[in-house]
Amino acid sequence: MNTILSPAADPKKSLQDIAFDLPGRLLIARWASIPLRLIVGFGFMEHGFAKLSKGPDAFAGILHALAVPAPHFMAWASILTELLGGLAILLGAFVSLVSLPMAALLLVAIFTVHLPYGFSSIKLMAVTAAGAQFGPPGYECDLLYLACLVALVLGGSGPLAIDGVLKKWRNTGHS
């Protein structure tokens, strides 16, 4: 049997296997969703905690300035979406369901705040004695979060996820 590392393997075929088939052959590939869940879940929760720690009224004021209707309600809805959605993603629970409002938040952030500042999230303006000074962030990070959510929805939440436990439980007839 010719494998990628076998001396008898066709070199051209081996290169194709490495380039196109290797990720699917690696047992570790099924764990790829774990870092996505960790960074997306933690990131959303961190943003929710930041809004909560500054006070929901402060965020409602920002939403009011952006002409968002019902700014106090939307401030709380955003904070809870970030906190609970982030926790759900972190745990791999209801990933497809919670990804919808999370994606909606990201799209609103892109079109109401970040779009005028371009793509890049890092705009080094100057380095002073106080440290690096940055300009307003673009929509790059929002797109990265969206891509991660899409990858989790399409690829599944992976191992060590509540979704997997629920699927097994449902498949054994506990409905």
Q: Which two tokens stand for residue 27?
A: 């047992």
Q: How far is Cα 12 from Cα 169, in angstroms, rounded to an integer?
A: 45
Q: What is the pLDDT of residue 1?
A: 46
Averaged pLDDT in 10-residue chunks for the chain of 175 residues: 59 70 71 95 98 97 95 98 98 97 97 94 93 94 98 93 88 73
Q: How far is Cα 88 from Cα 94, in angstroms, rounded to an integer?
A: 7
Q: How far is Cα 101 from Cα 45, in angstroms, rounded to an integer?
A: 14
Under 8 Å between Cβ of 56 and 64: no
| β-pairing verdict for 124-128 and 131-134 | antiparallel
- Sequence-distant contacts of 170-175: CB under 8 A, at least 24 apart: none
Q: How far is CA 102 from CA 1, 105, 108, in A?
A: 47, 5, 10
Question: DSSP characters for the chain?
Answer: ---TT-TTS-HHHHHHIIIIIHHHH-GGGGGTHHHHHHHHHHHHHHHHHHHHHH-HHHHHHHHHHTT-SSHHHHHHHHHHHHHHHHHHHHHT-SHHHHHHHHHHHHHHHIIIIIGGG-S-S--EEEEETTEEEE----SHHHHHHHHHHHHHHHH---SS-HHHHHHHHHHTT--
Under 8 Å between Cβ of 145 and 127: no
Q: What is the pLDDT of residue 166?
A: 87
CA atoms within a 13 Å half-sphere pointing along the CA-CB vector of 74: 17
Q: What is the pLDDT of residue 22?
A: 61
Under 8 Å between Cβ of 45 and 90: yes
Q: What is the pLDDT of residue 169?
A: 87
Q: What is the pLDDT of residue 8?
A: 66
Q: What is the pLDDT of residue 173?
A: 74
